[in-house]
Amino acid sequence: MRWMETIKVQSATGKEQIIVNELIALAREVQLNANGQGLREAAVSSHSSVPGYFALRLFWDNDDPQPRGSLVGLSLTQSLKVFGLVDHSVWIEMSETEGGKENEQ
């Protein structure tokens, strides 16, 4: 089953580059140390129009989605609170679209 954790961080003005560097480093570290837990990708994004608003997304594919988040996601959420406001959410994929056709899972 595929699911995703989104950890959003809204940092203080002027701290954007620090948080970007930290998020990218964390994403790399998490992906390198996944050790068969089902982590497929860790990605960092910035908001298109709000400076200092970022998201770290963890994409999982395993048989045990965690409704409240993985230990990795929960740990990252706690550690990122030093940079500003943090929101953590979990999303479970309901369907997949390939080549214009929807495939229910």
Number of neighbours of residue 24 by Cβ within 10 angstroms: 15
| CATH number of this structure's domain 2-104, picked from the four choices 3.30.450.40, 4.10.140.10, 3.30.70.100, 1.10.3720.10 | 3.30.70.100
Compute the half-sphere exposure of residue 105: CA atoms within 13 Å on the CB side of its CA: 12
pTM of the model: 0.85
The string of pLDDT tens digits covering residues 9-61 is: 999 888 899 999 999 999 999 999 877 789 999 999 999 999 999 999 999 99
Q: Quote the pLDDT of residue 99.
A: 61
Are the beta carbons of 51 and 73 closer than 8 angstroms?
no
CB contact set of 43 (below 8 Å; sequence gap of 6+): 27, 56, 57, 59
User: pLDDT-based confidence at 101, cuts 50/70/90?
Assistant: low
Q: Quote the pLDDT of residue 15.
A: 85
Termini Cα distance of the chain: 8
The string of pLDDT tens digits covering residues 48-89 is: 999 999 999 999 999 888 999 999 999 999 999 999 999 999
Q: Quote the pLDDT of residue 72.
A: 94
Q: Which residue intervals of 1-105 are DSSP H helices?
A: 16-32, 71-80
